[in-house]
Structure 1
Amino acid sequence: MLTIGPHLSIAGGYKKAGKEAVSLGANTFQFFTRNPRGGKAKALDPADVEGLTAIMQANGFGELLAHAPYTLNMCSATPATRDFARMAFKEDLLRLEQLPCRLYNFHPGSHTGQGVAAGIRWIVDMLNDELWPQQKTTVLLETMSGKGTEIGRNFEELRAIIDGVELQDKIAVCLDTCHVYSAGYDLVGNLEAVLTEFDRIIGLSRLRCVHLNDSMMPFGSNKDRHEKIGFGTLGIDTFERIVTHPQLRELPFFLETPQENTLDYKKEIDLLRLF
């Protein structure tokens, strides 16, 4: 069965999010570890965590995905921004040890004028400082669209980060369909070529999940504007090829599409399960 879920708020607790996922026909979900714009994370309630675990076991859930706040920028030129990134990253990894979630996704960050090489050095240094051998969590670098001074606009930049990480079994990748299409990887015209390129540079064994997002923007625009599945420039046929592809179909898929409310996710989940 396709493992697919929406992005859900955990403001009401993890158990509530798990129940909501089930009501939407999902068997996984993504959540922000804290406010996406930063701030403190809510204290964990052991009973709430146990409730989520029970829901996952009863409903055959796949891997959940924790998402770091957007303000986590390991490679900023501003020391205070890097300090926040370190604090949030360290705290999130410790919290995830107490949750039934083993995947943690983050945007590599923006070098803010220092240059790609300098930005990658900052990221690698922080990962090497904060990852530890016994952690259960795999940290995922997200593929980015390439706007501004973003790092991760191509597979080579992600590979450079991976190569610098000492604990190789703790680092992998989340592929965002909107982002890679906007970055110039033609998922619509030649999905096979994109996967071959990914495998050659990074290795498909490091691909642990996929963000399923259509795009409001044209191919190669370097713009990050998500659209509902089938309503953007990627189109529904592309998503059918992605979720049924033999090298992708066993991965967990996560929707980050714009919705009026979470009930709208059900339409996309039901549609994608038809393929």
Structure 2
Amino acid sequence: MSERVISTGGLTSAERVTGTQSLEKAVDILEYIAAAPRPGVTLAECTGILGFSKATTQRMLLTLTRRNLLHFDEELGVYSLGMLTAKLGSEYLSRLDYRRAALPVLRDLVAESGETAHLGVLSGKDVVYIELVDSPQPIRMFSKVGDSRPAYATAIGKAILAQLPGDVRRTHLPESLSGSTARTITSFEQLYLDLAQTRDRGYAIDDGENREGIRGFAAPIFDFTGNVCAALSVGGPTARLDAEDAKRNFGDLVARAGRRVSSVLGAPEELLG
């Protein structure tokens, strides 16, 4: 059966797209606007992304705006994310049981360490922070819920990657490893060695690999199936987290925290020892 084509009334054949293609283009626009700097994106910029005519692009933007997925600022002439995206995102996050299970543990981590604690999940080749508790200290690691980072260059990402089968792990890595800092691992051989060490000791270390001057430690979280589903971390300025002291104190701290959350989620006993 051929796909139904949306009525396009006067559009060129290049602009006659299926419903699926239109939906994909709409998602492209939402992702582009979400990643764009404030205050937003103009119609002309959106037209360039879609590759449609100005009129076709405007119709799509009007639909997204009418459904509150986008907001149009008439004074500035730019589009930004609408209230419905916040509502949908909030609803999605509220349904993540491990987020609720981890929050009190993150608070305890901050109380014990004095540093910022994160909860993150794997999303494609990135890690996305879905919860965090800030350090009370004025000089600290700054981030926000929804931030994403390359999985291979973060403690949370490496804690998760270390628990995955090799073929699955490879799908969450880019074709090549680029350096965010001078300390980022850029060799697959070195990365796989790091992941093996991570698995053996029970926690991952980000030694300034994602951000200069920031050291982080992360441990995996397992669900009732015994599969890794997330990881939590604690991190802060290297000036406060001396390498050797931090390994002794923070590594064990996050490993215990990871086991606490895993226990709440019903992980098998052999993963909690």
Do the two structures share a fold, i.e. TM-score over 0.5? no
The structure that is helix-richer by fraction is 2
Higher RCO (C-alpha under 8 Å, 6+ residues apart): 1
Between structure 1 and structure 2, the one with the greater Rg is 2
Q: Smaller-chain TM-score range? A: under 0.3
The structure that is strand-richer by fraction is 2
Q: TM-score, normalised by structure 2?
A: 0.26
Q: TM-score, normalised by structure 1?
A: 0.26
